[in-house]
């Protein structure tokens, strides 16, 4: 009887604790594998890169690939262009989404729920549906070959991020705003002095999502930008591939340098990112 209970306990422990961890480890390995392959490919010689079967670790480290990768295209100019677009996109997303979500969650006004439902409905409109109309609007205002079409949409809010921020704000006690009103503060002062500091976790989430989306965006710059000196790095890598397609070790080196800022941003704001996701889910 004791052996039977012990065996059942081991089976239950394996299914509840060990097996889920093994599955997560396996999924993490599958997720990390492309990044590992990109890094080791960036450090290989061309002959080793094309060898069959492929080596899982470089026989010789060629760090000069990183320097050479920056010489084939104006790499740092493209990186600066991408950084400029991402900074303005983050500023616009944080400002617009926080203000709109505050008005849809903390201020009582007639038709608030209807407006919120209309905003949520825009989530189901795919970008190709509005792509031609947006291009026509920006073309008539002579904004093609500028960064305005790439940054201005972030200043009008995003349905997904407004929804996330609104759910987070609904979890903040109403007594905080009432205390500000009693002390004579107006809505702008309550928002900037009391509510905005509490929103730091969800603001970090919005900032990370926006920065990554803007950093990796390829289609939108391809539509609106037609001059090489203002290209972001996403188009720059495509130019590198089209002009130097056989130099895969240099392409991998450039790609790893492009991915590095995104990793640094996530690691720097990881605590706020996790806190914003978990608290928003619990309170929402």
Q: What is the pLDDT of residue 13?
A: 80
Query: 129-156 in b/e burial notation, b at 16+ Cβ within 10 A?
Result: eeeeebeeebeeeeebebbbbbbbbbee
CA distance 74 to 207: 27
For 161-175, what is the mean pLDDT? 91
pLDDT in tens, 75-115: 899 999 999 999 999 999 999 999 999 999 999 899 999 99
User: Of 84, 42, 121, which is closest to residue 211 (Cα–Cα)?
Assistant: 84
For 138-150, what is the mean pLDDT? 95
Q: What is the pLDDT of residue 25?
A: 92
For 242-264, what is the mean pLDDT? 81
Domain boundaries, the chain: 2-42, 64-283
Query: Is residue 232 within 8 Å of 82, Cβ to Cβ?
Result: yes
Query: Is residue 157 within 8 Å of 100, Cβ to Cβ?
Result: yes
pLDDT in tens, 187-241: 899 999 999 999 988 898 899 889 989 999 999 999 999 998 999 999 988 887 7
Q: What is the pLDDT of residue 9?
A: 74
3-class DSSP assignment, residue 183 = coil
Q: How many CA atoms lie within 13 A of 186 on its CB side?
A: 1
Q: Which residue has the higher pLDDT, 279 or 27?
A: 27
Instruction: Report the mean per-residue pLDDT for the chain.
Output: 87
Superfamily name with CATH number, domain 64-283: MetI-like (1.10.3720.10)
3-class DSSP assignment, residue 138 = helix
pLDDT in tens, 218-232: 999 999 999 989 999
Q: What is the pLDDT of residue 273?
A: 66
Query: Is residue 151 within 8 Å of 92, Cβ to Cβ?
Result: yes
CA distance 140 to 152: 15
pLDDT in tens, 20-75: 899 999 998 998 898 898 999 888 888 888 787 888 888 888 889 899 888 888 88
Q: What is the pLDDT of residue 189?
A: 92
């Amino acid at each position: 009887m004791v052996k039977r209970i012990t065996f059942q306990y081991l089976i239950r422990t394996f299914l509840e604790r060990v097996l889920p961890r093994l599955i997560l480890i396996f999924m993490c390995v599958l997720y990390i594998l492309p990044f590992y392959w990109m890094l080791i490919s960036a450090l290989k010689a061309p002959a080793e890169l094309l060898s069959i079967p492929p080596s899982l670790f470089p026989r010789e480290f060629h760090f000069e690939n990183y320097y050479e990768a920056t010489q084939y295209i104006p790499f740092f100019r493209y990186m600066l262009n991408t950084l400029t677009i991402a900074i303005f996109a983050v500023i616009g997303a944080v400002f617009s989404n926080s203000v709109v979500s505050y008005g849809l969650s903390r201020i009582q006004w007639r038709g608030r729920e209807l407006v919120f439902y209309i905003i949520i409905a825009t989530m189901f409109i795919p970008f190709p549906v509005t792509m031609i109309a947006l291009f026509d609007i920006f073309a008539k205002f002579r904004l093609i070959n500028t960064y305005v079409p790439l940054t201005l949409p972030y200043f009008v809010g995003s349905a997904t991020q407004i929804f996330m921020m609104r759910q987070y704000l609904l979890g903040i006690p109403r007594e905080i705003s009432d205390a500000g009103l009693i002390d004579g503060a107006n809505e702008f002062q309550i928002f900037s002095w009391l509510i905005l500091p509490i929103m730091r976790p969800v603001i970090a989430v919005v900032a990370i999502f926006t920065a990554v989306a803007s950093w990796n965006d390829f289609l939108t710059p391809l539509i609106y930008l037609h001059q090489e000196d203002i290209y972001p790095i996403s188009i720059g890598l495509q130019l590198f591939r089209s002009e130097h397609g056989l130099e895969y070790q240099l392409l991998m080196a450039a790609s790893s340098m492009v991915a590095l800022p995104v990793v640094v941003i996530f690691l720097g704001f990881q605590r706020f990112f996790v806190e914003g996701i978990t608290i928003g889910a619990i309170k929402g």
